[in-house]
Amino acid sequence: MKKILIIDDEQIIRTSCERTLAPKGYAVTSAASGAEGLALLEKEPFSVVLLDFKMPDMDGMEVLKKIQASSSSAKVIIITGYSNVDTAVRALRSGAYNYIEKPFTPDKILSAVKEAIDDLEEK
């Protein structure tokens, strides 16, 4: 079972992702902040990380850089508001696998996650 980590300070986003992914056979773990997410990543491996870019404690870019720096091989999908495409582009250049604009539909999350896992498995 593929393990997926959601890092978002918004409860509703975390719940939405959990409720979308869990029925499709993914093991979903949630983290309410960047620090918490990084701690979880250190403890166990995840295939995909859904990362909110705009969080109060730690900037999504910073979290991304730390994940890149760590031994984790997880694919990072950025969740962003439309107006932050510029930062999304920067994130993609910094190694993020993909990005999803808020608000998103369950299908978008599922296809993005599936794409990432397929890519991971190909390697």
Interacting residues toward other proteins by CB under 8 A:
10, 12-13, 15-17, 19-20, 54, 81-83, 85-86, 88-89, 99, 101-107
Comparing CB distances to other proteins, the nearer of 65 and 104 is 104
Q: Closer CB to other proteins, residue 18 or residue 36?
A: 18
How far apart, in whole angstroms, are the C-alpha atoms of residue 43 and residue 55?
22
CB of 84 to other proteins, least distance (A): 9
Question: Which of 22/39 has CB closer to other proteins?
Answer: 22
